[in-house]
Structure 1
């Protein structure tokens, strides 16, 4: 059956890229609502659905837009909602970007644990992959194959000598998500900070919410030796949640928000069926 959260819950922090203070409030929502973001700082609190058709930008994060309602860097929260099993939720947000928290999804997961879940009266709808779908860009790709569940196999290739090639394969369950994926933080590089901030990005980034590297290695302590690829898997979960609940085996090499969301748009063609 579909599920929503059992209780209202809120969290305040700053946005990773905007650096702006923001409060999110998660509310229960009726069946078939999906996940919607409502900008409470704007007149009439316009809302945008968390759907692949609403993606308008993928530079460094995933942006959703519908009229005056615009939100970005939503992938970590969406990943937590997806794996927690929340089908319907209204997210009131007081700024364009959710809080970065610690740069991972574990804070959002802990919020959901506090809020709890409530079963609803309609059956859950899923998109069950019956053939291969693939998106390519030069030497980068993301594909999804038939599989009874959600599995992600990701290869990350980074020129930094302390990162290099990383591979991670995981069947996504609540247990594996919490232990192996949700705690993986955003990766940043000292040499990129000035350029990013000149573009209005990473204004809220710090050693408290990112694993930062310089030419000598990590400036602060990673949580995993392969934290980069685990965070890439986290992003895939959040981006593919824009196609609803998908059953399949994702295989990706050097994929990005652009490729992830392009695949999510392809998956909208799959007819939803009752779980």
Structure 2
């Protein structure tokens, strides 16, 4: 029998939000069994937002969950690190509507959770075991994401980008904590230089810089890469985080150029049929 987990002690992190550009303080606290992952907006009277697929309200360049009249967005990097550590229960206190972006990857979050330690609780874990094919398609583009039965947690992702610098990238990982930290956690979010002004006009990417975003243009990469195929690894990071909204998953996730919209739609399907 697998038992639920939480963290052993409070840990904190400060920084700016990727899209909001605002300074934010984040605190992770241990939580009792069956709490789940709960965001608490200390700047909004302590109102809570449960990190569940049903609470997703936007997937525009990030994943947003909303409940009790408040929201948090760009949660996918933190959720990904929590999924990799198989954390069932934690309280995430924020004094703004977006967690800090750190360096644009999930490595700071992964290491923060590791520094807190993991405590096993007495209650049994309700693992989401994929026992059938769950699939979401975007018929207009041919993009899809699916989950199949598998003894463990595995993600296969193909990224299709028309840019000559990127092209087709593919990776396939059996996900455990060690593999995640080495191969996935350091992969940062990526932006095309031509998109940046448009994003900022939309109120997005206001906290983005070369310190937390990999930027490319028609000539090449503006900042150095951690991996030659960093884009597809970050896509894997995102899908792991988005699917944590359904729960801790046992299965094989296969994705073709999926983004937050398809990922969270699959999370909703899995939560509704297997949760």
Aligned-residue offset at 1:86: 1.1
Residue 220, structure 1, aligned to residue 223, structure 2: yes
1:93 and 1:56 mapped to 2: Cα distance?
A: 19
Over the aligned positions, Cα root-mean-square deviation in angstroms equals: 0.8
Partner of 1:94: 95
1:240 and 1:30 mapped to 2: Cα distance?
A: 22
User: Aligned to 1:194, which of 197, 201, 223?
Assistant: 197
Indicate if the aligned counterparts of 1:127 and 1:270 stay in contact, CA closer than 8 A: no
1:94 and 1:31 mapped to 2: Cα distance?
A: 25
Aligned-residue offset at 1:159: 1.4
Q: What is the correspondence of 1:1-275 to structure 2 with a 5 Å cutoff? A: 1-42=3-44, 44-137=45-138, 138=140, 139-272=142-275
Aligned-residue offset at 1:251: 0.8
Aligned-residue offset at 1:130: 1.0
Poorly superposed stretches of 4+, deviation over 4 Å = none
SS of corresponding position for 1:120: strand
Unpaired segments ≥5 residues, structure 1: none
2:12 and 2:130 mapped to 1: Cα distance?
A: 35
The number of residue pairs the alignment matches comes to: 271
SS of corresponding position for 2:115: helix
1:20 and 1:118 mapped to 2: Cα distance?
A: 32
Q: TM-score, normalised by structure 2?
A: 0.97
Deviations 1:28-59 (A, max 9, x none): 001000000000111x2100000000000000
Unpaired segments ≥5 residues, structure 2: none
